[in-house]
Amino acid sequence: MVQDGNDIDLWKPGFMELLPQVTVMQLPIYIVSAEAQKIADQINHVQVFSCDATVLKTAARVKPTYFLMEGATILAKYSYLDADKILAKQ
């Protein structure tokens, strides 16, 4: 989840590094943002969904926040600074 696109330069490099590894693991990856089009213009390899900013602020305290999910169940939640833990979880 990415609240908005203001800090994309901070987290995009790490996201782009994580993306191929997650793809190899056959984990689907999506981005949810209040500024979906702004994100989609800069990251074109991932499906981007739009969501109200208030909902995003409630669910994700940092930009971005990664959710590891199984169906509708959240298995784990990580700051972009801890993205390497996603791979260790698998």
**Predicted local distance difference test score (pLDDT) of residue 49:** 93
Q: What are residue 79's DSSP bridge partners?
A: 65
> Is position 50 within any domain?
yes
> Is position 55 within any domain?
yes
> Is position 18 within any domain?
yes
Cβ atoms within 10 Å of 39's Cβ, excluding its own: 23
Structural domains of the chain, count: 1
Q: Which residues in the chain land under pLDDT 50?
A: none
**Predicted local distance difference test score (pLDDT) of residue 40:** 92
> Is position 89 within any domain?
no
For residue 32, with 0-12 CB atoms within 10 Å meaning exposed, 13-18 middle and 19 or more buried, which class applies?
A: buried
Range of the domain at 78: 8-84
pTM: 0.82
